[in-house]
Amino acid sequence: MIAKLYTKVLGKIREASVFTAHVLHRLTHDYSYVDGVIQKYKTPELKKNAYQSYKLWTLVQILEEQKPKKILEFGSGSSTMIFADYAAKNGAEVVSVESDEGWAEKARTYLAGNDNVKIVFAKALGFANLTPPQLKYDINFDETFDLVFIDGPGGHFEGIARKTGVTTNALELKDPKLVLIDGRKTTVHYMKDHMHSHACRDSDLHSLHPVKPGYNYFSAFSKKVHTTGGSD
């Protein structure tokens, strides 16, 4: 009982620190582009939440730093619009996989005329008989991607409790340079144990510690660079 209460209190403190971090960050950084994207694609499907602006701002910085040429996204949403703008300006290619056929069609409509982006529908499968339970989009890719973004699949899967399913698609890809995961703590932990070719930097939101402005929003798996040492 005391342990649960302690955890709840820590959670409230962390939640307050996130709010403060977002407010302070806005005071010293330009959010005009991100705010414009959110307003432009404002729909019931793209509900704004407390993390959205900071999440998208962080994503923009990562794109500018990494400069990927091939991007694969699992779970279309507001991030797709950021990827689409980046691809159009930088000659990159984006494939966004979505399990909601209706939303996939809407996303295609919003991005009509942008030939750098391809919205692909794929069913989301749940495997409750596995330990841990696994989720995956029913699609495979042969090519290599510079950036892989995981924000799905969402929804209810029979026999799989919320936040317990592990999205496994990234583990089936050919050596991606960088994998970003939005939330999905269970997926991050599973990938740490199975994606040994990549080093993980965990999201600061995966602990109960208070965060500061500029905190790590995404969990990131970066391909390890192997160096060969020589002898004199």
Predicted confidence (pLDDT) per residue in 97-129, tens digit? 999 999 999 999 988 889 999 999 999 999 999
- 40-44, 65-69, 136-140, 148-152: lowest mean pLDDT where? 40-44
Strand partners, 167: 135
Token digits of residue 125: 């499968």
pLDDT value of position 47: 54
What is the average pLDDT across 184-209? 93
Average pLDDT of the residues of the chain: 89
96-99 own/partner pairs: CB under 8 Å, 24+ apart: 96/72, 96/120, 97/72, 97/73, 97/121, 97/122, 97/137, 97/139, 97/152, 98/122, 98/152, 99/75, 99/123, 99/124, 99/137, 99/152, 99/153, 99/154, 99/155
What domains lie within the chain, and their CATH numbers? 2-223 (3.40.50.150)
Report residue 29: phi and psi, to 5°: -135, 155
What's the pLDDT tens digit per position in 60-95?
999 999 999 999 999 998 899 999 999 999 999 999
What band does 224 get if pLDDT is binned at 50, 70 and 90? confident
pLDDT at residue 186 tops 90: yes
Per-residue confidence band for 134, with pLDDT thresholds at 50, 70 and 90: very high
**Is residue 23 predicted with pLDDT exceeding 90?**
yes
Residue 44: per-residue pLDDT: 57
Largest CA distance in the chain: 64
